[in-house]
Amino acid sequence: MTEVNCKAELNNIIKQYEQRLSSPRPNPNEEFERLLPTCKPGGSRFQNQNYKTFFAGKDLLYGMREELSRFGFQSPVVFRDSILKGIEETVEDVWMWLPEWNSLRELLLR
């Protein structure tokens, strides 16, 4: 998850996408450089509650890796798998755990 790896993967994704488009997209390296400061501490995407909008769950989980290791989890993936196992094995109605899960369930049942 280094900056170099992110740029390389970004380039691969954009190249694959552009092969399906008739017009080229902005240079991914330029976009990466432009957006990078907003994703770091002090950046607009990092402030207050914005991180919940701009960062995916996997990004937030990866950001917790040091704290998770202090709690005995070998990696964020091990932590995620523990959560999924708990959800799968519970006898409770998991949609009741969070209001948004219950709302989603109600929408799906309509």
- By the 10 Å C-beta count (0-12 exposed, 13-18 middle, 19+ buried), 95 is classed as middle
Q: What is the pLDDT of residues 15-67, one digit of tens each?
A: 888 777 766 667 888 889 998 898 888 888 877 676 777 778 888 888 889 99
| Distance from C-alpha of 60 to C-alpha of 54, rounded to nearest angstrom | 10
Does residue 1 register a pLDDT over 90? no
E-only strand ranges, the chain: none
Q: Domain residues of the chain, as ranges?
A: 1-54, 56-110
Quick one: three-class SS letters along 8-28?
A: HHHHHHHHHHHCCCCCCCCCH
| Distance from C-alpha of 15 to C-alpha of 13, rounded to nearest angstrom | 6
